A and B are shown apart, each in its own frame.
Chain A
Amino acid sequence: MKVILDSAQIKQILKDLTRHIISDTPRELDIAAIGIRSRGEVLAQRLSKRLSKKLGKDVPCGTLDITLYRDDLNSPQGTSQPQVRTTEIGFDIDDKIIILVDDVLYTGRSARAAMDALIDLGRPRAIKLAVLVDRVGRELPIQADYAGYKTDAAPGKLVQVSLVESDGKDEVVIE
């Protein structure tokens, strides 16, 4: 087990991501953060708080459950049985810049599912992908717009993100 990010580094990454998002986005456009369950949800909340503070306006935050959009639902190899949870987006996503947030970008399949789920909710002006860890191993043509830490962890390894709100501490390890 190797710690690749500690609490201070995670904080710095969120700060940098916030700065990049703001410098990329014209002031007159509305931004919203939407996190993919489960850890993307926590990160989206932190990002929306930082964005709201820096921009001096409310940046709404929502949570997306992508279970119904997964591409392995009907595959017998799927060993896990995902539980369907709720999508909680209490605002209109039409015409907003949606910052889609996840903890790790790896195969790109979750991001694909999330984009399809979002499009069924409305028509955002743009969807941008922000992730804490960008891991080599894409299986779809998807890249992050904002990535914190990049890693080329070997395929058998597990990149495990822990966050205070859900796991009691901020840390990213490779197992």
Chain B
Amino acid sequence: MALIRKDKQFRWHRKHLLGLRELSAEEITYILSTAKGFEQISTRSVKKAPPLRGKVVVNLFFEDSTRTRNSFALAASRLSADVIEFTQKTSSVSKGETLLDTARNLEAMGIDIVVIRHSAGGAPKFLSRNINACVINAGDGFCEHPTQGLLDVYTIRKIKGTLEGLKIAIVGDIAHSRVARSDMWAMTKLGAKVIFVGPPTLIPTQANLLPVKVSYSLDEVIDKVDVINMLRIQFERLGGNPFPSTREYSHYFGLTVERMKRAKPDILVMHPGPINRGLEMESEVADGSNSVILEQVKNGLAVRMAVLFLVNQAAAQKD
């Protein structure tokens, strides 16, 4: 029995988490193993630990969110940080304040970590260059949603043991999906093969430059994959007519009970939420035995605690 793992020389040094593209496989694995230690906090009698005592975390969300926002808020408070909630609708941004002014003003109040979601790709990076606080990207444009990517690989690793050699399909509106991109970086770095599946109108035009395969037919890949991640059709982002009708879309790309019969018996069914039930996935599948959707949400909390903890550690040691 290996009681003591030898201390690795690895050292986490990033005070910002901007995306998974820039992380090494070793860094991703380090976050995942750190997250493991945070899982138990949510199951014990006092669901709180002290490592971020006296720190202030700001949830700076310029786009709507329920899951990610609440998950970050809960993660921060379980680590004993104070949390400030900021929403565009009730803030001075509606009076025309710029992103940088908003952030600098918040910083003047003495904040330590900014969790930002913004419709402009690169907004977190811009912020990280202009303020002293740690910056965590909670979704920027169509670029990245790193904590979602991390919680997805965490969930897969927890159940399958490893990502090495797994085939993973990411299905739906890839073009507008930051989740697809963060997933792709994390999954391929950890050794999985990723296939983007969707109608040609929803596959990014430069997909050939990415480390993935592309398929325009869900029926062609459904029996070959170990994990299937069904993306939400983001009506709020779709311009024009990417598909003729929602009925046609779900006919070709919906995960139905019928299609599940052809899938591997131990396939993992994932969805980043919120689900359009009956469109990208039938309710029976979303609530079925292969679905790990709620497990993803649970793991998201542990992963976000780990990220908050690590960026704060890196900042403390840099000062």
- A residues near B, CB below 8 A? 38-39, 41-42, 45, 65, 67-69, 73-76, 78, 81, 83-87, 116-117, 119-122, 165-166
Contact = CB atoms under 8 A, between A and B. Distances in A.
Contact of B51 (A68, A86, A121, A122): A68
Interface stretch (B40-48, B61-69, B266-274): B40-48
Nearest to A69: B50
A173 to B, nearest CB: 18
B309 interface: yes
A166 B4 contact: yes
B37 interface: yes
B4 A42 contact: yes
A45 B1 CA distance: 12
A74 B316 contact: yes
Identify the interface centre among B54, B317, B319: most chain A CB within 10 Å of its CB.
Answer: B317
A166 B7 CA distance: 12
Interface residues of B, number: 32
A85 B39 CA distance: 10
Contacts of A87: 37, 40
Contacts, number: 73
Given A39-B4, A76-B317, A68 B36 contact: no
Contact of A84 (B37, B50, B54): B37
A83 B49 CA distance: 15
B50 A116 contact: yes
B316 A42 contact: no
B3 A65 contact: no
Contacts of B7: 83
A86 B40 contact: yes
A87 B45 CA distance: 14
B102 interface: no
B7 to A, nearest CB: 7
B4 A120 contact: no
Given A68-B50, A120-B48, A121-B46, A81 B12 contact: yes
A157 B163 CA distance: 44
24 contacts: A38-B3, A38-B4, A41-B3, A42-B4, A68-B49, A68-B309, A73-B313, A78-B317, A81-B11, A81-B12, A81-B313, A81-B317, A83-B8, A84-B37, A84-B38, A85-B36, A86-B39, A87-B40, A117-B49, A120-B45, A121-B46, A165-B1, A165-B3, A165-B4
A138 B33 CA distance: 33
